[in-house]
Amino acid sequence: MKTKTLTKLSSIVATLLCIVIGLILAFVVLLVTYSATKSSSVSAITGRFSSASWGMKKILSLGLSNPSSYSEYLRRFTTLKYNIGQVLYYAMPLIMTGLSVAFAFKTGLFNIGASGQYLFGGIAAIICAGMLHLPWYVSIFAALIAGAIWGAIPGLFKAYLNINEVITCIMTNWIGLYLVNIFVYNTPAIQSLGADSSRTLTLTGDGIILSRLNLASLFAGNDNVSVGIIVAIVFAIVVWVILYKTTFGYELKACGLNKNAAKYAGINDKKNIILSMVVAGALAGVGGALYYLTGNNGAVYKTEEVLQQAGFDGISVALLGGSNPIGVIFSGLFIAFLKVGGDNLQPVYNTEIVSVITSTIIYFSAFSLFFRNLILKGRVKRDLAISNQSNILNKPPVIADIKGGEKQ
């Protein structure tokens, strides 16, 4: 088997392995946290098990399970369609922040600042859409620029002062959060968008929020589904092309794989570090725009003293997707799927359990690299032995000789 295909295959197998382990652990969490008082008819142990498996089924089937009649079936099917729409809606910003982190990973940088860049992009979009009433694509472009600027800062510090990007990223996350909060507090125009004392604001208006493309009818009237998911997938494909088809991607990956060799080859490592962070910031910024421009109840800006979770989820999405832009589409959808599925647990399990389960799986996503290396390790050793061996074989026929001898 070719090494290339093997590497790809092993990444996929490793990721699936992580998901399975994560789900098993999630099941254990369900077992442990089940509160017996809520159902008293069955014995404690069986109750625990049946309830936990009910929970797992709920998560994995997006809330759908065992319809009793045809009408019930139709009703559930409608719910399913609606929920698939929710998955797409949740996935949108996750794919973008996942791409952001994955892109930086490829250059050997850890962009933990996606949260701040996401917020900067988000507020840029809110200004464009809410105050200037610009069309959504212009707002997305503005978010891209804002994210890029905020991402450039850690890049500049890394390139010229050799300050670890993780530290500057964490700082820019908080600085970004408070800058945006101050801005929202002090801008009446923003508050007039419906902001009350808690400074919550919502966007509305045709052409200003993301175009819904009549997709709602496909998803049982779920109007969270918009052109945004298509935008996210297009960005993933563009990032893939940049990384794997262009000289820019060649340079970026060279810097990430071996900084010294890249420098030796005449690649400007400083330039690439900055550009990598600029692109990563831009991607996260677009993620923020997609989220706020959806314009429904979910997508409101609240001034909070909590960093945007989407930025950190991006790390998990990138890890789970093996830092591959196409993989990120799927891992983003998967994590969104868990979130939606988890929402249906609520009558029996506490709301918080959803986050516990998601984070268990996310935690295990960090192991995907470990598993992949484990799978590859044995293989590479053998390959090395083979190539060592073939060095001294003068002509290909000799290989055949040895192989022939082996058969006898």
Select the span of 191-199, 247-255, 283-291, 300-308 touching another protein (CB under 8 A): 247-255
Q: Which stretch binds another protein (CB under 8 A): 34-42, 153-161, 191-199, 389-397?
A: 389-397
- Residue 163 parent element (H or E): none
Q: Please say which residue, 20 or 385, places its beta carbon nearer to another protein.
A: 385
Binding string, residues 251-270; x marks residues near another protein by CB under 8 A:
--xx--xx-xxxxxxxxx--
| Stretch touching another protein by CB under 8 A, among 118-126, 169-177, 291-299, 388-396 | 388-396
The residue range among 78-86, 108-116, 130-138, 398-406 that interacts with another protein, by the rule CB under 8 A, is 398-406
Residue 218 DSSP code: G
**Of 159, 180, 369, the residue nearest 263 (C-alpha):** 159
CA–CA gap between residue 207 and residue 39 (Å, rounded): 50
Token pair for residue 155?
């890049």
Give me the least distance between CB of 265 and another protein, in Å please.
4
Q: Dig out the tokens for 371 from the structure.
A: 């598993």
Asked if 183 touches another protein (CB under 8 A), the answer is no
- What is the contact mask toward another protein in residues 327 to 366, using x (rule: CB under 8 A)? ----------------------------------------
Rounded CA-CA distance 168/151 in Å is 10
Q: Which of 16, 9, 26, 1 is nearest to 368 (CA)?
A: 16
* 137 vs 248 by CB, closer to another protein: 248
What's the CA dihedral at 16, 19, 24, 30 to 10 degrees?
-160
Tell me how long the chain is.
408
- Which is nearest to 98 in space by CA: 246, 209, 236? 236
Q: Name the packing angle between helices 269-293 and 136-161 (round to 10°).
A: 150
- Calculate ∠ Cα 242-88-18, nearest 5°: 75
Q: Cβ(240)–Cβ(122) under 8 Å? A: no
Residue selected from 403, 404, 407, 408 as contacting another protein according to rule CB under 8 A:
403
Classify residue 210 by its DSSP letter. P
**Which CB, 42 or 237, lies closer to another protein?**
237
Q: Per CB under 8 A, does 373 bind another protein?
A: no
**CA quadruple 208, 214, 215, 220: dihedral sign:** positive
In 3-state terms, what secondary structure has residue 302? strand
H or E segment and range at residue 300: strand 300-302
Residue 384 makes contact with another protein by CB under 8 A: yes
Closer of 57 and 263 to another protein (Cβ): 263
**Pick 6 or 175: Cβ nearer another protein:** 6
Please, what sign has the CA dihedral across residues 103, 106, 107, 109?
A: positive
Handedness of CA 382, 383, 389, 393 (dihedral sign): positive
Among residue numbers 274 through 303, which ones bind another protein (CB under 8 A)? none
Shortest distance, position 244 Cβ to another protein, whole Å = 9
Burial class (CB in 10 A: 0-12, 13-18, 19+), 304: exposed
391 sits near another protein (criterion: CB under 8 A):
yes
Cβ proximity to another protein: between 306 and 392 the closer is 392
109-168: contacts with another protein (CB under 8 A) = none
Of 2 and 306, nearer to another protein (C-beta) is: 2
Which residues within the stretch 83-112 sit at the binding site for another protein (CB under 8 A)? Answer: none
Measured from the CB atom, the residue of 347 and 396 that comes closer to another protein is 396
Q: Are 158 and 165 in contact (CB under 8 A)?
A: yes
Rounded to a whole number, what is the distance in angstroms from the first to the last CA of the chain?
24
Nearer to another protein, 54 or 248 (CB): 248
Binding pattern to another protein, positions 226-245, x when CB under 8 A?
-------------------x
Nearer to another protein, 310 or 376 (CB): 376
Q: Which uninterrupted H or E stretch holds 200?
A: strand 200-202
- Scanning 68-76, 318-326, 342-350, 384-392 for contacts with another protein by CB under 8 A, the matching segment is 384-392
Instruction: Tell me: does residue 374 bind another protein (CB under 8 A).
Output: no
- Residue 188 or 266 having the CB closest to another protein: 266
Smallest gap from Cβ 271 to another protein, in A, equals 10
Q: Which residues bind another protein (CB under 8 A)?
A: 2-4, 245-248, 250, 253-254, 257-258, 260-268, 380, 382-394, 398, 402-403, 405-406
